Amino acid sequence: MRRIAVVGASAAGLAAVETLRREGYDGTLTLVGDEPELPYDRPPLSKQVLAAEWEPDRLALRTSADLTALDLDLRLGVAATGLELVDRTVRLADGTEVPYDGLVIATGVRPRRLPGEGAHVLRTLDDALMLRERLARGRRLVVVGAGFLGAEAAAVAWRLGAHVTLLEPAAVPLAHAVGARVGQMLAAAHVDRGVDLRCGVTVTEVTEDGVRLADGGIVEADEVLVAIGSLPNTRWLEGSGLALGDGVVCDEYCEAAKDVYAAGDVARWYNPLFGTSMRIEHRTNAAEQGMAAARNLLAAPEARKPFAPVPYFWSDQYDMKIQAYGFLRGHDEVAVVEGDLAERRFIAAYRTGDRVSGALAVGVPPKALRQWRQAVAAGATWHGTVRTGVPAVEA
């Protein structure tokens, strides 16, 4: 294998090229990215960058010197437009082609949008800087979508003195992921600070004056942020022969086809730890999966290792530090095992079937949550562990 291409120059793609070199690969290594910037960190966009606490130079994941040391064929500012599996080439928007013997797809996601013009989204550095320029004390911001991204942006805008309206179609924000009780607690954090949170509201389009609701009403705003989720960047792979279904469909090794692997937000792979396919849009998973995909690409078939992580994510909202381990979606039960929801200082454990599938904490030291991560990783059963608040492992 003398030519490897990595398409996607964010956290997953960067982790893949670094791992390939670290594992001893010394052939041609091409890294393709559709943004002109060097690889940068995205989680601070909705937090420190939007709040003007950080400037763009703090986001860089590596320096120019670091990337030069990797001896890359670096193609930034050019998107991939097609893949030929038989010929083993990636087509780029500038008309060139990148031949490969091995390929890692790490093209991430793009924001979902609403009909109409003028709304902001929050995915790239340019997105964050554009919204930041328009936020000021007294400005009216409507945020469509009260998921983690929308909630983080709403919290920052409130802190900057904006009048924030947060619109959410579900009856309780994030209930599908974290459960109704935890979702209600997160919602209360906004309401207590004067954010106009409206649940059970569907937005149909962005207008010149704000947004239009399904009942015909208008919510006026100076700025609108649409944070209604994302779509995996797989359009360039249509017709390639790869299986696509809410991402690039992969096996437990992150392999999508012979010598073709996927990593990060774009990858839907089978996680044997949970016995299900999943696609995870979290920063930690992107880096870990980029490394795993690179190692498996280089390894002999019998030496490959399944990618079976305990997913981790975090969110900062107001004075709350939210952290979670596991796969919380589709859970059957939630139990508060430590602390108090009303005080916004607690640990909640999640059950799927008869096992502990995850845990979420607010306002507690990271060390207190790690034992629950270990329980998830070890396949701890649910009975007894939640009643005692001790995640005894009974795999």
Residue 66, helix vs strand vs coil: helix
- The torsion angles phi and psi of 20, rounded to 5 degrees, stand at -60, -45
Long-range residue pairs from 123-131, CB within 8 A, at least 24 positions apart, any chain:
123/42, 123/45, 123/230, 124/35, 124/45, 125/35, 125/37, 125/40, 125/45, 125/49, 125/56, 125/59, 127/45, 128/45, 128/46, 128/49, 128/50, 129/49, 129/56, 131/50, 131/223, 131/225
Q: Taking a C-beta distance cutoff of 8 angstroms, is the pair 118, 224 a contact?
A: yes
Q: Kindly state the DSSP code that residue 44 receives in the 8-state scheme.
A: G
Please give the structure tokens belonging to residue 340: 């108090």
pLDDT for 384: 58
Helix 283-298 / helix 11-22 crossing angle, nearest 10 deg: 40
* Cα(46)–Cα(43) distance, integer angstroms: 6
Which strand ranges, in their side-by-side order, compose the sheet holding 89-92? 80-84, 89-92, 97-99
Each residue's pLDDT, cut to its tens digit, for the chain (395 residues) gives: 899 999 999 999 999 999 999 999 999 999 999 999 999 999 999 999 999 999 999 999 999 999 999 999 999 999 999 999 999 999 999 999 999 999 999 999 999 999 999 999 999 999 999 999 999 899 999 999 999 999 999 999 999 999 999 999 999 999 989 999 999 999 999 999 999 999 999 999 999 999 999 999 999 999 999 999 999 999 999 999 999 999 999 999 999 999 999 999 999 999 999 999 999 999 999 999 999 999 999 999 999 999 999 999 999 999 999 999 999 998 999 999 999 999 999 999 999 999 999 999 999 988 889 999 999 999 999 975 665 555 543 33
With a threshold of 0.85, does the pTM exceed it? yes
List the domains of the chain with CATH numbers: 3-110+230-303 (3.50.50.60), 113-226 (3.50.50.60), 319-388 (3.30.390.30)
pLDDT of residue 395: 31
pLDDT value for 387: 52
Say if CB 359 and CB 376 are below 8 A apart.
yes
Q: Which of 305, 177, 233, 228 is nearest to 12 (CA)?
A: 233
